[in-house]
Amino acid sequence: MAKSQHTTHLANIDCAGGGQVWVEGTTLYIGHMRHPSGTTIVDVADPRSPKILSRIEIPDGWHSHKVRVSGDIMIVNHERLGQEGDADFGGGLAIYDVADPSDPRLITKWTTHGRGVHRYDFDGRYAYISPTAEGYVGNIVMILDLADPAHPQEVGRWWIPGQWAAGGEEYPWDNWVPPRCHHPLRVGDRLYVSYWHHGFFILDIADMAQPKLIAAANTSPSFPHPTHTCLVMPEPLKGRKVMIVADEDVAKLYPAAPAFTWIYDITNEHYPVPISSFQVEGVDPDGRPQQPMTGCHQPSERFNGTVIPFAWFAQGLRILDVADPFQPREVAYYEPDPPAGFERSSANDVTIDSRGLIYLIDRQRGVDIIETSVF
């Protein structure tokens, strides 16, 4: 049976499992993990009776598991799965007009080299993306200008020195994991960039054409989980500038206890300092290794005040209050039943809408719509 505290389950949308959920107004956009469902668009005006409006499918061997919308523009990623996808389809971003969400219209596809685009941020004008690019090892940081969505223009890129193989840079990671930008998030003139097993980087993008490194940190040598998301709090907490850094409980460098989330003080942004962490109670009783996808995945990029919903893989939805960043505390949760045919749930992404409703997608199947009393 599902377990909950200070949450109420309103509805379940039976659909293919997914990588991301996003809401604009009363329209829910779902990015799926695997073929045949690329993107599903759902009317959630009545959250207890959601109605599927449209679907966009993509070929075998590719997925568009991420989706972001601003105004009437939707962008979805195209990323190759292993080596099975037809290379002619091409990785990149598909850009749609969703003025009528029941009839999404492709504006253009921006194509990149190699595997494609993983995750990204989108503010309605600029997309901050993590593509593979010709001549580079792994994914890098790139900024696209979508002022004219039919003609995206690259305005800047950044990479860790050593990634630009075609530029003759010496590769310094023979005894480490290859670099891979996971995704950048913009706040003001800063990009906060998660870089998988290379930690995170804070970039100055006052000049978008020439991003400049401010600081970096990496916990993977000691805690072998990849860095997934760097989420900056918009207002000071206890007089400090705070960043939530979520590790993802996959791709461990060696067997380890479940991943958790860190709280960093970035008041002096040149010297980020971890000041606390959070793990769901009882998930790690003794520090022994456990199977992947037990612990943390990621926070919602939208949140209310200091209360942040998290997708916590097998632990479902966890809602944290970080008003005291030195002592983050759980204030609500919802642990769904596993989807039919699966032993455990696998909460993969979470977002909220303007009504404060929460949308939690399972990587395997389904989206839950949840109400909470803590907002």
Q: How far apart are CA 166 and CA 42, in angstroms?
A: 44
User: What's the pLDDT at 266?
Assistant: 98
Q: Please report, as a single letter, which amino acid is at residue 114.
A: G
User: Residues 6 or more apart from 231 whose CB is under 8 A from it?
Assistant: 185, 192, 243, 244, 245, 246, 299, 301, 308
Query: What integer pLDDT is reported at residue 85 of this predicted model?
Result: 78
- For 245, phi then psi, to 5°, come to -120, 110
Q: For position 1, what pLDDT does the model report?
A: 79
Q: What pLDDT is stored for residue 35 in this prediction?
A: 75
Q: Which residues of the chain have pLDDT under 70?
A: none
What is the number of domains present in the chain?
A: 1
pTM over cut 0.85: yes
The C-alpha atoms of residue 248 and residue 139 are separated, in whole angstroms, by 17
Q: How does pLDDT run across 113-158, given as a tens digit for each residue?
A: 999 999 999 999 999 999 999 999 999 999 999 999 999 999 999 9
- Structural domain of residue 207, as residue ranges? 3-372
Question: Could you give the 3-state DSSP secondary structure of residue 195?
Answer: coil
DSSP string for residues in 260-276: -EEEEE-SSTTS-EEEE
pLDDT tens for residues 356-374? 999 999 999 999 999 999 9
Chain centroid to CA 303: how far?
Answer: 14
| CATH number of the domain that residue 276 is part of | 2.130.10.10
